[in-house]
């Protein structure tokens, strides 16, 4: 087709696509395997369904981003942001970050994700705006830690730093994608 650029992002059977879905399937099997060796892991059907739905959502979102753009920095930024969101939700559902999983203070992490999602929508998923959305998400993540500290709910500096680093890494990769997308000599 004339005027159409095929980035290869939509190819069926791409090694990266196979790897993403293969790793997701393996991660879903890990609790099942662990249940054979220890009683510490005791998942029921609902646990597997929720975890599977989370994996399908994350992998499907990555797949969509990979099909839309051939920009490797953008794809990597999406992957890092999805990994951060996935781990944040998984940890909150499994054991909770502030106290245990039943502590309502953990709902603040939903606000962190809301900042990222709303920022992405406002940015229309364009790399320069996504850069700003991920920075705002990192700030929201840090604010949750500050609120938890002030309220005496306990928090972990290392865990907060881990998530802030992931959000900022995603922001940096989106910034790189914006610079690669911008015409030469133009500021993004």
Mean pLDDT of 12-28: 84
- Name the region of 125 (left: φ>0; alpha: ψ -120 to 50; beta: rest): left
**Entry pTM:** 0.84
From residue 74, how far is each of 124, 125, 157, 174 by CA, in Å? Answer: 14, 10, 28, 6
Structure tokens at 163: 């998530």
Q: Higher model confidence: residue 92 or residue 9? A: 92
If phi > 0 it is left, if psi is from -120 to 50 it is alpha, else beta; for residue 185 that is left
Q: What is the mean pLDDT of the chain?
A: 88
Segment 85-102, tens digit of pLDDT: 999 999 998 888 988 888
Could you tell me if 166 and 91 are in contact, meaning their C-beta atoms sit under 8 angstroms apart? no
């Amino acid at each position: 087709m004339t005027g159409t650029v095929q980035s290869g992002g939509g190819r069926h059977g791409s090694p990266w696509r196979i790897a993403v879905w293969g790793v997701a399937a393996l991660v879903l099997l890990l609790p099942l395997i662990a249940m054979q060796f220890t009683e510490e892991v005791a998942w029921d059907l609902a646990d597997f369904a929720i975890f599977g739905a989370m994996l399908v959502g994350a992998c499907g979102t990555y797949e969509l981003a990979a099909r839309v753009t051939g920009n490797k920095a953008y794809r990597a930024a999406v992957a890092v942001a999805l990994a951060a969101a996935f781990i944040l939700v998984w940890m909150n559902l499994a054991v909770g970050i502030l106290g245990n999983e039943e502590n309502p203070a953990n709902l603040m992490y939903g606000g962190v994700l809301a900042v990222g999602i709303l920022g992405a929508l406002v940015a229309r998923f364009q790399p320069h705006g996504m850069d700003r959305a991920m920075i705002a998400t990192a700030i929201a993540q840090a604010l949750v830690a500050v609120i938890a500290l002030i309220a005496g709910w306990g928090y972990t500096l290392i865990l907060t730093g881990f998530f802030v680093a992931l959000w900022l890494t995603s922001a940096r990769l989106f910034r790189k994608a914006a610079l690669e997308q911008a015409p030469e000599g133009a500021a993004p």
